[in-house]
Structure 1
Amino acid sequence: MSISVLVGAQWGDEGKGKMVDYFAMQSDLIVRFQGGDNAGHTVINDYGVFKLHLIPCGIFNKECQCLIGTGMVVNPDVLIEEMQQITDVGLGVDRMKISAKAHILMPYHQKLDELMEASGGIGTTKRGIGQAYAYKALRKSLRFEDLLKLENARAKLETIVPVVNDQMASYKIEPYTVEELYAKCEFWAKTYGHMIVDPMVYLHDMIDADKEILFEGQLGAMKDIDLGIFPYVTSSNPLAAYAAVSGGFPAKKINKVIGVAKAFSSAVGGGPFPTEEVGGTIDMLRGTGEKPDDEFGARTGRSRRLGWFDIPVVRYTHSINGYDELALCKIDKLDNLPEIKICVDYMLDGELVKGFPTTEDLERVEPVYITLQGWMSDTTQIRRIGDLPENAKIYIKTIEDLVGTTVAYVGVGPDREDLAIRLTH
């Protein structure tokens, strides 16, 4: 039995979808363990180009089971659309299960998100994720288990809808009715009833059967609600330890933690971003948006903010997650740069920063850069790290030494197989 957890090592958009799709070829079960449809994992393989927001990226391996886990908030209408993407290419979704304890993202959650953003928010995707988690914390929420006993769903809606409508009234929005929301629950029950499982029984059966299990994290550690750049964060914990919390198994059973980082930095939404550059050399990496690996958000389509690789960020997220190895994606994007900068430290008010700054201080830090020579050659056909250009290997070794872990995989293109791997893997 092996349990691995794959998480984002930066601000999100690091290439997790590509890596999960790759690891799924060797896995028996992929579990998406937190988040909702606010972020997308881009997968490019023989079936086409996909941006999955809820379905685990293991769905493309016909031998791999997939679980939408307990820690997620799931919009059932969005899930229907996503399932259609999969069936349209001739794949079934019969291998996909939904935790009975996963919470349902309701229409009013999304509406409240839109209204709150319009009155001055933090740049959310307006998908209702924060509101769904807030209602979960208020104990005013439906779970997928309620679709198996619709009388429970109705009873809960009768207590929830008045709370919702009090909020709607403050925005002068028409109230919701129990009947209209219950009708949706009836439809969802018919659609998903056969997919809903007891997550404890399902997962522990897999563990007891010595299956290869991979937990798929969403977003990146810098967006963690507790340890990230609060308040510019998501509403859940995209950290390796949360896989065990939401999965309901001892954390000591985790065998490996894989961090996914981009060979430079990118971010979507508000908040501090110390290595960000606007225009200039870094903008060469953006693309036009026509290619699936161009620097535009998989969910929002928004142009990503771009910057150089930030060692203090990845060193910090390593201290939180404990990466056994890193996957460094999109190094091919640097192929044509004669010089490449790496941020190795921060200065604040004339002093070297110790530890990791607060969100407010992170807005004010000055990055300390070193400059490495580029390799000015094509890496897209290389499949072993040892065969990369010498300056690319120096770039990777510099990151390894400063972060304190091993880069075991290097992304050299958007497709599943576009990877340079260490010979020991």
Structure 2
Amino acid sequence: MSISVLVGAQWGDEGKGKMVDYFAQQSDLIVRFQGGDNAGHTVINDYGVFKLHLIPCGVFNKDCQCLIGTGLVVNPDVLFEEMQQIVEAKLSLAGLKISSKAHILMPYHQKLDELMEASGGIGTTKRGIGQAYAYKAMRKSLRFEDLLNLENAKKKLENIVPVVNDQMASYQIEPYTVAGLFEKCQVWAKTFADMIVNPVAYLHEQIDADKNILFEGQLGAMKDIDLGIFPYVTSSNPIAAYAAVSGGFPAKKIDKVIGVAKAFSSAVGAGPFPTEEFGGTIDILRGTGEKPDDEFGARTGRSRRLGWIDIPVLKYTHAINGYDELALCKIDKLDDLPEIKICVDYKLDGKLIKEFPNTEDLEKVEPVYITLPGWLSDTTKIRRLDDLPDNAKKYIKTIEDLVGTTVAYVGVGPDREDLAIR
């Protein structure tokens, strides 16, 4: 039995979907443990190209169970659309389960998100994620367990809807009705009731049966609501420790933490991004959007902000998560670059700083770079780290030495098998 947690080591979009799809082949259970449908995991395998936002990437292994965990806020309509995508690919959903304690993202959450962004937001995806978590914190929320007791769900809606409509009135928006929302709950109950499980009992059954379990994180540590670049963050905790918190098991049972990083840096949305560059060499990495691994958001389609790899970020997120291994994705995107920059330090007001700065200071830091020679050769067919070009191995070794952990996997293309392993 083993419990592993896979998390984003940067700002999100690091290639977690590819890595979860790979590890799912050796896993008995994959658990999505936080977030919602505000970000997507792109998976490319023999079945096609998929952008999953709620369903764990283990769904492509027929022998792997998948749990949409307690820490999520789930839009049932989006989940149904994703399920249809899987069914159309002639794959089974028999192993897909939903935590009874996962909170339901309602239509008014999404509407409030749209309204708040229009009046000056932080660049959210307008999917209602923050509002769903806010209502969860206010105890004005439905959980999937309420779909198993519709009478109880209706009573809760009668308590929640007046609060919602007070907010809607401030935006001069038509009020929601209990009847209209309850009708949606009735439809959702018919669709999802057979998939809903007691998550703690279910997970402990898997642990007691010595199953191999992988927890799949969404976004990256720099977007953590507590430890990230607040307020330019997500509304949940995409760090390894939260897998145990939301899973309802002791953190000491986690055997391995796998961080996924990109061989350069990217970000979507507002907020500080010290290594960001515009045009020139860095734009070569973006692509045109025609390829599934070009630098455009899986959820939004927005062009990502791009920059060089940032060692202070990786050291900070390593301190938070404790990476046993790193997966370094998209190194093949650097194949044509004669030189590659690595940010190794920050200067603030002309002085090197040791501690990772707060958000306001991060906006002002000056990145300190070293430059390494590129390898100017194709890495896409390589499957062992030892077979990579010497300069690629030097690039990886430099990252390992500076961050203080081991790069065990290197992504050399978008497909599951495009992976060089140590």
Cα-to-partner distance string for 1:336-361 (whole Å, 9 max, x where unaligned) = 00000000000000110111001000
What's 2:141 paired with? 141
Deviation at residue 252 of structure 1 after TM alignment: 0.1
Matched, 1:127 2:127: yes
Deviation at residue 309 of structure 1 after TM alignment: 0.3
Cα-to-partner distance string for 1:65-108 (whole Å, 9 max, x where unaligned) = 00000000000000000001100010011110000000000000
Corresponding residue pairs, total? 422
Cα-to-partner distance string for 1:366-389 (whole Å, 9 max, x where unaligned) = 000000000000000000000000
What does residue range 225-240 of structure 1 map to in structure 2 within 5 Å?
Answer: 225-240=225-240
What does residue range 204-283 of structure 1 map to in structure 2 within 5 Å?
Answer: 204-283=204-283
Deviation at residue 283 of structure 1 after TM alignment: 0.5
Deviation at residue 238 of structure 1 after TM alignment: 0.1
What's 1:80 paired with? 80
Give the whole-Å Cα distance in 2 for the aligned partners of 1:93 and 1:283: 40
Give the whole-Å Cα distance in 2 for the aligned partners of 1:34 and 1:166: 29
Deviation at residue 298 of structure 1 after TM alignment: 0.3
Deviation at residue 34 of structure 1 after TM alignment: 0.1
Give the whole-Å Cα distance in 2 for the aligned partners of 1:252 and 1:206: 16
Normalising by structure 1, we get a TM-score of 0.99
Which secondary structure state, in structure 2, belongs to the residue aligned with residue 377 of structure 1?
coil
Cα-to-partner distance string for 1:124-168 (whole Å, 9 max, x where unaligned) = 000000000000000000000000000110000000000000000
Matched, 1:402 2:399: no
Give the whole-Å Cα distance in 1 for the aligned partners of 2:12 and 2:353: 24
What's 2:377 paired with? 377
Matched, 1:178 2:178: yes
What's 1:4 paired with? 4
CA RMSD of aligned residues (A): 0.3
Deviation at residue 364 of structure 1 after TM alignment: 0.3
What's 1:31 paired with? 31
Cα-to-partner distance string for 1:22-79 (whole Å, 9 max, x where unaligned) = 0000000000000000000000000000000000000000000000000000000000
What's 2:113 paired with? 113
Matched, 1:325 2:325: yes
What's 2:104 paired with? 104
What's 1:198 paired with? 198
Give the whole-Å Cα distance in 2 for the aligned partners of 1:94 and 1:278: 46
What's 2:415 paired with? 415
- Gapped regions of structure 1 (runs ≥ 5): none
Letter in 1 for 2:306: L
Which secondary structure state, in structure 2, belongs to the residue aligned with residue 216 of structure 1?
strand
Matched, 1:14 2:14: yes
Normalising by structure 2, we get a TM-score of 1.00
Give the whole-Å Cα distance in 1 for the aligned partners of 2:101 and 2:89: 30
Give the whole-Å Cα distance in 2 for the aligned partners of 1:353 and 1:11: 21
Which secondary structure state, in structure 2, belongs to the residue aligned with residue 97 of structure 1?
strand
What's 1:287 paired with? 287
What's 1:392 paired with? 392
Give the whole-Å Cα distance in 1 for the aligned partners of 2:121 and 2:269: 11
Percent identical: 86
Give the whole-Å Cα distance in 2 for the aligned partners of 1:350 and 1:333: 33
Give the whole-Å Cα distance in 2 for the aligned partners of 1:91 and 1:358: 45
Give the whole-Å Cα distance in 2 for the aligned partners of 1:69 and 1:279: 40
Give the whole-Å Cα distance in 2 for the aligned partners of 1:196 and 1:103: 12
Which secondary structure state, in structure 2, belongs to the residue aligned with residue 257 of structure 1?
strand
What's 1:70 paired with? 70
Matched, 1:363 2:359: no
Deviation at residue 392 of structure 1 after TM alignment: 0.1
Give the whole-Å Cα distance in 1 for the aligned partners of 2:354 and 2:373: 28
Which secondary structure state, in structure 2, belongs to the residue aligned with residue 25 of structure 1?
helix
What's 2:335 paired with? 335
Deviation at residue 122 of structure 1 after TM alignment: 0.2
Give the whole-Å Cα distance in 2 for the aligned partners of 1:143 and 1:84: 22
Which secondary structure state, in structure 1, belongs to the residue aligned with residue 26 of structure 2?
coil
Deviation at residue 179 of structure 1 after TM alignment: 0.2
Deviation at residue 326 of structure 1 after TM alignment: 0.1
Matched, 1:42 2:54: no
Give the whole-Å Cα distance in 2 for the aligned partners of 1:315 and 1:418: 26
Cα-to-partner distance string for 1:269-303 (whole Å, 9 max, x where unaligned) = 00000000011101100000010000000000000
Which secondary structure state, in structure 1, belongs to the residue aligned with residue 113 of structure 2?
helix
Letter in 2 for 1:211: K
Which secondary structure state, in structure 1, belongs to the residue aligned with residue 297 of structure 2?
coil
Letter in 2 for 1:83: M
Deviation at residue 418 of structure 1 after TM alignment: 0.3
